[in-house]
A and B are shown apart, each in its own frame.
Chain A
Amino acid sequence: MIVGNRKSLEEILQLVKPYKKILLLGCRECITVCAAGGEREVGVLASELKLSRMKDGQDIDIKEHTLERQCDFEYIDQIKPFVDEYEAIVSMACGAGIQYTAERFPKKVVLPAINTTFLGVTLEQGVWSERCQGCGECILHLTGGICPVARCAKSLFNGPCGGSSTGKCEVNKETDCAWQLIVDRLKGLGQLDKYEEVILEKDWTTSRDGGPRKRIREDLKLG
């Protein structure tokens, strides 16, 4: 899933400072699962904003609304009937959702309440961890199912570097060394010989380096 963090209350207060009527828009997809911008978080942020503004004598009118998704116009359009009643939309979706909401309403100010961070997994209740950078050319079959692009601080294709120590990364002692994980897993699979294969220079054109990406499935397109 896409994982994000809510911005601090101070930062959001600063963003909404000029406005008296805002639409606080959550999303029920990934950002709900990672407990950053779902219905519950929309409610919490709305209360925090109202309380803070009330204390400053600057009351604010907030409409809370959470969509199925903010990455589909089909759902975004559900706010059409009332969006004009508000001066600004504060989106609690991921970066894609925030942008798509803005794209749908060209004359409406759309503000981000979420810092989108990574594609990851739930390690345990309240803990998420990065797994993928969407580089567009998966090599997990070569690396025992562990991605060095996303999980090595240097994205080394032929690691580990000299800073791998007792299974941890030199950058952060809390972070596992991806290459230690890869070696352990290859060993467990009886495939340590794969480690000896040199992975040559990566073609980054499938990654962000090739420019903004688009995927087209002709067979699914209508008309």
Chain B
Amino acid sequence: MKTKSNIERLLEAGKFVVTSECGPPRGADAEVIRKKGELLKGVVDAVNVTDNQTSIVRMSSLASCLILKEMGFDPIWQVVCRDRNRIAIQSDILGASALGINNILCLSGDHQSFGDHPKAKNVYDIDSIQLIHTVKTLRDEGKFLGGEELKGKPNLFIGAAENPFGDPFEIRAMRLGKKVKVGCDFIQTQGIYNLEKFEKWMEMVRDRGLHEKCAILAGVIPLKSAGMAKHMKKNVPGMDVPDALIDRLSGVPKEKQAEEGIKICVEMIQRLKEIKGVRGVHIMAIEWEQKVAEIAKASGLLPRP
């Protein structure tokens, strides 16, 4: 074991892991995080905490991680390269480790033009792959990027995201390979709706042997309605929602669509579990955390070890 991460422990034991996520509030009320946490207790092995997702200012990811940590969770601290340079990021990594955070998810971050402060200047001193390299250098070499040695290595299990549905498709496994090369321990994928395409991606991943060096957790996002499915297909870049799925949701009355969405999600998890190299599932129930327990239960993922 490289770290004290709960998911690292479970993955080493060969368990199928379950993670979910928690978006911090648009304010300083810690209760919002605690309430979301309550919904996930005993349901997940670790919980992601997003870092100003879609470039909308929220409570800091690290602070929210600590609130969840106090509740007994093993948070996955998401860090984007948009808002901080290598000085701030390395400093935060040391701080997070000192506070007992065991997992980091390295992301480039949504562009600020999507958020509530489109006039902001972005940073991008380093990108997500260089961030993985940064954490690895601090943790395993005990050195800062500047080359000097540090005292007290940060002990983080290193994660990243990958979108099997982003273009160009042919380099998506290659790109994961770059992440693995610089030290990525686990990957959480973009929400999967197009299973066929995901299977093709996994095949490319297995051909490169990447699934043996890096644990792949397949992402799912339960759909609340046919409207949400259509919106994702049309407006969320890099999202692949097949028409058959939209038709299936549209085929049931509006008040039953959420239920159907959960059913689709459960079926997806059951099929993902069977794919060689998929070591866990990441359930992103966006502002719908109360459904994660139901999804996990129906998918046969409970109780958690």
Contact = CB atoms under 8 A, between A and B. Distances in A.
Interface of A: 153-167, 170-171, 177, 180, 183-184, 192, 195-196, 198-202, 204
B145 A201 contact: yes
B35 interface: no
Given A198-B182, A200-B130, A201-B130, A165 B166 contact: yes
A198 B127 CA distance: 11
Interface in B152-167: 161-163, 166-167
B238 A198 contact: no
Contacts of B125: 201-202, 204
Contacts, number: 93
B237 interface: yes
B171 A195 contact: yes
Contacts of B190: 162
Contact of B127 (A154, A165, A204): A154
Given A155-B124, A196-B177, A164 B133 contact: no
Given A156-B124, A158-B129, A201-B86, A163 B171 contact: no
A180 B163 CA distance: 15
Given A162-B163, A165-B237, A156 B168 contact: no
B174 interface: yes
A195 B238 contact: no
A144 to B, nearest CB: 13
Contacts of B86: 201
B15 interface: no
Given A154-B108, A156-B124, A195 B174 contact: yes
Interface string B70-103: 0000000000011000100000000000000000
Contacts of B127: 154-159
